[in-house]
Structure 1
Amino acid sequence: MTEQAVRPANAPADHPTVPPEKVGVLLANLGTPDNYDYWSMRRYLGEFLSDKRVIDYPAWKWQPILQTMVLTKRPFSSGAAYKSIWNHEAGESPLMTITKAQTAKLTSEMQERYGDQVVVDFCMRYGNPSTESVLNRMIEQGCRKVLFFPLYPQYAGATSATANDQFFRALMKAAWQPSVRTVPPYFDDPDYVSVLAGSVTRTLATLDHEPDVIVASYHGLPERYLTEVGDPYHCQCQKTTRLLREALGMDRERVITTFQSKFGPEEWLKPYTVEEVARLAQAGKKRIAVLAPAFSADCIETLEEINEEIRESFEHAGGESFTYIPCLNDDDAHIAVLGKVIANNLAGWLA
Structure 2
Amino acid sequence: MGNKVKTGVLLVNLGTPTAPTAKAVKTFLGQFLHDHRVVDLPRMLWCPVLHGVILPFRSPKVAKLYQSIWWEEGSPLMVVSRRQQAGLSAALQEAGINMPVALGMSYGEPSIGTAWQELKDAGVDRVIILPMYPQYSVSTTASVFDSWARLMKQERCLPAFRFIRDYHDHRGYIQALAESVRDHWEAEGRTDLLLLSYHGIPKRFEDQGDPYGHQCHRTSELVAAELGLERHEWRTTFQSRFGREPWLQPYTDETMKALPGEGTKSVSVICPAFSADCLETLEEIAEQNKEIFMEAGGEAYHYIPALNDNPAHIRMMMDLVCRELV
> Which category of TM-score, normalised to the shorter sequence, fits these structures?
over 0.9
1:37 alignment partner in structure 2? 21
1:85 alignment partner in structure 2? 69
Q: Report the alpha carbon displacement of residue 20 of structure 1 after superposing the two structures with TM.
A: 8.3
1:25 alignment partner in structure 2? 9
Are 2:167 and 1:186 aligned? Answer: yes
2:180 alignment partner in structure 1? 199
Q: 1: CA distance between counterparts of 2:97 and 2:254?
A: 50
Could you tell me which amino acid in structure 2 is paired with residue 221 of structure 1? I
Is the 8 Å Cα contact of residues 259 and 271 (structure 1) preserved in structure 2?
Answer: yes
Is the 8 Å Cα contact of residues 290 and 301 (structure 2) preserved in structure 1?
Answer: yes
SS at match of 1:157: coil
Is the 8 Å Cα contact of residues 102 and 118 (structure 2) preserved in structure 1?
Answer: no
> Runs in 1 of length 4+ with deviation above 3 angstroms?
none
Are 2:60 and 1:76 aligned? Answer: yes
Could you tell me which amino acid in structure 1 is paired with residue 220 of structure 2? T
Could you tell me which amino acid in structure 2 is paired with residue 269 of structure 1? L
1:15 alignment partner in structure 2? none
Are 2:88 and 1:106 aligned? Answer: yes
SS at match of 1:246: helix
Identity %: 40
SS at match of 1:186: coil
Q: What are the Cα deviations for residues 211-244 of structure 1, in whole angstroms up to 9, with x where unaligned? A: 11110000000001111x1100000000001111
2:220 alignment partner in structure 1? 241
Are 2:270 and 1:291 aligned? Answer: yes
Is the 8 Å Cα contact of residues 172 and 312 (structure 2) preserved in structure 1?
Answer: no
Q: Report the alpha carbon displacement of residue 39 of structure 1 after superposing the two structures with TM.
A: 1.3
Q: Choose which of 194, 200, 206 in structure 2 pairs with 1:220.
A: 200
1:3 alignment partner in structure 2? none
1:278 alignment partner in structure 2? 257
Q: 1: CA distance between counterparts of 2:21 and 2:4?
A: 42
1:14 alignment partner in structure 2? none
Are 2:76 and 1:64 aligned? Answer: no
Q: Report the alpha carbon displacement of residue 127 of structure 1 after superposing the two structures with TM.
A: 0.5
Unaligned runs of 5+ in 1: 1-8, 11-18
Is the 8 Å Cα contact of residues 10 and 128 (structure 2) preserved in structure 1?
Answer: yes
Are 2:140 and 1:164 aligned? Answer: no
SS at match of 1:225: helix
Q: CA 1:293/1:243 → structure 2, altered by over 3 Å: closer, same or farther?
A: same
Are 2:296 and 1:317 aligned? Answer: yes
User: Which structure's CA Rg is the greater one?
Assistant: 1
Q: 2: CA distance between counterparts of 1:95 and 1:317?
A: 30
Unaligned runs of 5+ in 2: none
Q: What are the Cα deviations for residues 274-305 of structure 1, in whole angstroms up to 9, with x where unaligned? A: 11011002222110000000011111110011
| TM-score calculated relative to the size of structure 1 | 0.90
Equivalences for 1:149-160 in 2 at 5 Å? Answer: 149-160=130-141
2:34 alignment partner in structure 1? 50
Could you tell me which amino acid in structure 1 is paired with residue 203 of structure 2? E
| TM-score calculated relative to the size of structure 2 | 0.97
1:13 alignment partner in structure 2? none
Q: What are the Cα deviations for residues 243-286 of structure 1, in whole angstroms up to 9, with x where unaligned? A: 11111111111111000001001110001101101100222211
